[in-house]
Chains A and B, each alone.
Chain A
Amino acid sequence: MTWDLLGQLFAAQFSLWWIFWIGITAGIVIGFLPGFNAENTLIMLLPLTLAMPVEHAFAFMTSLYCATHLGGGIPAILVRIPGTPGAAATTLDGYPLTQQGRGQFALVLSFVASVFSGLIATLVTVAMLPLLSTMGLYLRSVEMVVVMLFGLTLIAVIAAKDVLKGLIAGLFGLMIGMIGTDHIYNTPRATFGFLELYDGVPLVPALIGLFAVGEALMMIERRMIVKDVSGRKTSYDYGQTLEALRYSVTRWWHIVWTGLVGLVIGIVPGAGASIASFVAYQQSRMWSKEPEKYGTGAPDGVIAAEGGNNGVCPGTLVPMMALGVPGGSTAAVMMIVLQYHGMTMGPTLFNENPGLAYGVFVGMLISYLFMILTIVPLARYMSRIVLIETTYLVPVIILVTVVAAFSERQYVFDMGVAIVFGLIGYIAHKTEYHVAAILIGVVLGPLFEKYLVRALRISEGDPRIFFSSGIANGLWVLLALSLLYPVWRAWRRKKREAR
């Protein structure tokens, strides 16, 4: 790609600014609402996007897609309801910050981390597209098992205070994640006779239950979300916004590498934002100098989760554009639009239609720039939601999110699932069984099983397959290092203190 072409693409994409605004606004609203995501919205709007010129359609779709990832973090931070599964890890430190009266700070951190990790990941994608497009081919089920283990080890990390309780919660989540038919023979397992559970426990209702309903039942005993409301009048000016912007600048490298984690995971077809955010969070905690602060309102925890969550966006488009294999369900919908307009996906796209191929990523860059300008000034007003008394918030959260649980699959059954998980979430909260550990099991369990069984099937049951490739072995070494490093550091600290 030449600089001339790049300049032309920027000029062309900027002329579509109004489409970007519409896409961003719609995306943030969609991301905010649990149960709705870019995929089902784009399917709904397919007749509209098919009727548009292809450049307009792509500007709209990419901006909406990226904005949903950002929007999902807003309710995760303010009321502990992840708007999208990818924002689940954001609740771990975002909500404690809100409870401390620092919701605006957390929101701006998440916006900056989302936008700049997305920007960096997009820039890297544009610069290294040919190389990245082949990466997906090397990360197969064997390597993905190790990537999943990076996320699953977070259970042990979360369980640091009471290891037994944490592990029980995590394994309980993994068992819940195994409900449904198996990946090879479609044998129903522990479905309680419900056909609705054959596809597994629906993730969005489970998320809504564990976090929204469970947390709302906890809120009943408090007058407000914020624990100390004494200084609330002074703490909702732009001060926290500026503080978060300054903090983000000092943590630029954290934003960059978590975004790149997201990008690499996003490239793998089938992997997604929920894996990326947990892996980025786990790595951030593992290498942090203050790992004990994670889960109690650590700003770096918010950055890591949102960095991983948003770095995925350009990554999911890479296999679609370069190989003709959609990296996720949203990319599949985008591919339908491109094919409708007569575009052939694959390596030839970059020679035959470089304007469109690279234009998609340039459009993504522009939508990120628009996004930060739109959303950061609003953080101050959004954070005021925590000043509403729980007598109003609790009924609205419970009833409206239960309605949202219906939306993904359109089963009334899923509203019941949200209530059941709400009870589990409440009990887990009250007895300190680590809701986040249950969630990690529920989110990553089915994916882990899918890759594990697929790999074992290829090897006809021989577990040595997990050590059969250079990349997998490299990942095993990294996993071992990331687990051993905190132990070594704690040992060294203890030794220094003993002196």
Chain B
Amino acid sequence: MEKRSAAGAELLIPMLALGLTTYFLYSVAGVEWQAKANGVIVGSLLLLLIAVQVVRVGMALAAGRAERGFGAILLPREATPKRLGMLAITIVFVALVPYLGLALGLFVALSAAFYLMGIRGVPRVLAVALAVSIASSLLFTVALDSGLPKGPVENLIGRLVR
């Protein structure tokens, strides 16, 4: 049996592209032609192709070759909570890293993420998270001096070293 595509999923990227193109064209209204020439050409072409895709998906829906909903995006179902959880952990990590610093922030985020992914046994989760966060801190902060935010751990070590 032929696999039916999901109309919502098929239109996600075109809708993102439509949003960006519309905003781009709005933002360049009234500026010099050199600043918008390329964007207007590419944007117009993109809008045309999006329209064709919308019609194509609409026809597939009407003919029963597609279904409503987001299909593959949310499949397999058992992976969706993990995906959303990983995204949530990453967003919280990015929000807190300026306050916690790399070492502590990464350790907490990795511990939560390993647990979410199904690794069980507190010592194992903490040991792997600790090893990865120490290695990352040494690499990014000590070896490469990448300017990552410093937190309580980095400040404490800094004071001890001094």
**Which of A's residues lie within 8 Å of B, judged by CB?**
30, 33, 35-36, 41, 44, 164-165, 167-169, 171-172, 174-176, 178-179, 182-185, 187-192, 213, 216-217, 220-221, 390-392, 394-396, 398-400, 402-404, 406-407, 410, 412, 415-416, 419, 422-424, 426-428, 430-431, 433, 448-449, 452-453, 456-457, 461
Contact = CB atoms under 8 A, between A and B. Distances in A.
Nearest to B136: A400
Main secondary structure of the interface of A (DSSP, over half): helix
B146 A410 contact: yes
Given A168-B17, A399-B90, A456-B37, A184 B32 contact: yes
A419 B86 CA distance: 11
A217 B86 contact: yes
Contact of A419 (B49, B94, B97, B109): B94
Contacts of A217: 83, 86-87
Contacts of B83: 217, 220, 426
Given A168-B14, A172-B13, A392-B114, A189 B94 contact: no
Contact of B13 (A182, A213, A431, A457): A431
A35 B147 CA distance: 12
A402 B109 CA distance: 12
A175 B140 contact: no
Contacts of A402: 90, 93-94
Interface stretch (B60-68, B72-80, B152-160): B72-80
A387 to B, nearest CB: 16
A396 B119 contact: no
27 contacts: A164-B53, A165-B13, A165-B53, A168-B49, A175-B39, A175-B42, A175-B43, A175-B46, A178-B38, A178-B39, A179-B24, A187-B32, A191-B27, A192-B23, A217-B83, A220-B82, A221-B76, A395-B86, A395-B109, A395-B117, A398-B90, A398-B113, A400-B136, A403-B148, A407-B140, A415-B97, A431-B72
Contacts of A168: 13-14, 17, 46, 49-50, 53
Nearest to A415: B94
A172 B97 CA distance: 31
A311 B52 CA distance: 41
Given A220-B79, A398-B86, A412 B97 contact: yes
A395 B114 CA distance: 7
B35 A430 contact: no
Given A175-B39, A217-B83, 18 more contacts: A30-B144, A44-B144, A168-B53, A172-B20, A176-B20, A184-B34, A190-B23, A192-B23, A394-B86, A396-B110, A403-B97, A403-B140, A406-B147, A407-B146, A412-B94, A423-B87, A427-B9, A431-B10
Contacts of A453: 34, 37-38
B6 to A, nearest CB: 8
A190 B90 CA distance: 26
Contact of A391 (B98, B118, B144): B118
| List of 3 A-B pairs having minimum Cβ-Cβ separation, nearest first | A395-B113, A182-B35, A172-B17
Contacts of B37: 452-453, 456
B91 A419 contact: yes
Contacts of B119: 391-392
Most chain B CB within a 10 A radius of its CB, from A33, A168, A426: A168
Contacts of A185: 31-32, 34-35
A254 to B, nearest CB: 33
